[in-house]
Amino acid sequence: MVSFDSSPDTTVYLPNVEVETLERYTVGGYHPTVIGDTFHGRYEVAHKLGFDQQSQKYVAFNERKILRLLSNNPNSHPGRRFVPRLLDEFAIDGPNGRHLCLVQDVNACSVTISKEWSSNNMFPVETARSIAPQLITGASYLHSRGVGSVIPSHPFAADIWTLGVSLYEPLGERVLFETFSCDRDDILADIINTLGLPPQRWWDAWANRGISRIYTPAWRPLEQGIWDMGRGETPETCERDVEGGEPKELLALFRGMLAWEPEERWTAEEVVRSEYMVKWARPAWKRQIKRQGGVCKCEAD
């Protein structure tokens, strides 16, 4: 006799960290999509690139408004090529409601994933340098069109801070701020350890401040992080205090972008005109484009 187990199935779905939860496929949530589906009579789903935890309705409509502004602009700014284009937009109706679809060019892989392919978790020097002007010029274009951060008081200054933090990653072997803690005091301590003490009024307002919190465990000050990048054409220009050397210009760039006071941070145009951009980043980008047989439109007409 064959016996069957009639006990209920207790299998629990435990999503991978890179996969959305099934519970989001409900009314008001995600639209069920499979490879091969066709939308709007012309777009066939060929691959799943990922998912976004922040794909809320208000974000999508705000993104559409910004993309329309940027895509309908005949501006010849060299940074325009680094901003996603809005190729098409449409809405679909499904079991979970109406969904706005924005069609853009396919993005390349992330900086983090690309660096993981390297044996030392760093880009080649020339590659790292050529990434910098693309990020900086793209941000300059956004600001030239009046597009900035959602922070109301200092939208452009907040962007420059974010740009500085983002720029550090392709240039170095680690991220700028390394704490994995979700504790705000630990995050602030990490930033202070890297950049130095904040303005006195900010320091006094920090209820849980303390030297032991800042220097335990030991993180790296900004100067050390730039030194660890190992930049320079010759042993002499690798020295961090050599006038005109790449490390010195990098330090000036990051100090300008990561100033504590928003009013003291460089503007996007000041970053574009920085010594690091002029002497190191933009020439590397031009050389890369030339090697690929293209024409580098690195500067505004």
For residue 135, the domain's CATH number is: 1.10.510.10
> Tokens 């100090």 appear where?
255
Q: How far is CA 289 from the centre of its chain?
A: 22
Boundaries of domain holding 141: 111-178+220-291
Question: Strand 88-94 relative to strand 97-103: parallel, antiparallel, unpaired?
Answer: antiparallel
Which tokens sit at 205? 């307002």
Banded pLDDT at 189 (limits 50, 70, 90): confident
Same domain as 131, residue 89: no
Q: Cα separation of 237 and 258, whole Å?
A: 24
Tell me the helix, strand and coil percentages in the chain, rounded to 5: 45, 5, 50
Q: Work out the end-to-end distance of the chain between its first and last CA atoms, rounded to an integer number of angstroms.
A: 85
Q: How far apart are CA 33 and CA 106, in angstroms?
A: 18
According to DSSP, the β-strands at 97-103 and 43-44 are: unpaired
Residue type (1 letter), 92:
I
Looking up residue 44, the CATH number of its domain turns out to be: 3.30.200.20
Per-residue pLDDT of 208-222, as tens digits, reads 886 666 655 556 789
* Secondary structure letter of residue 79 according to DSSP: G
Given this model, what pLDDT does residue 283 score?
Answer: 95
Segment 114-128, tens digit of pLDDT: 888 877 888 888 999
Which residues are bridge partners to 91 per DSSP?
A: 100
Is residue 70 domain-shared with residue 135, that is, in the same domain? no
Q: What is the pTM of this model?
A: 0.80
CA distance 238 to 160: 26
Q: Are 155 and 148 in contact (CB under 8 A)?
A: yes
Residue 16 scores a pLDDT above 60 = no
Q: Check whether residue 265 and residue 287 sit in a common domain.
A: yes
99 and 115 share one domain: no
Residue 186 lies in a domain: no
Check: CB of residue 44 under 8 Å from CB of residue 38. yes
Domain identity same for 49 and 169:
no
Distances (CA, A) of 79 to 62, 210, 258: 21, 42, 22
Please tell me the predicted confidence (pLDDT) of residue 58. 41
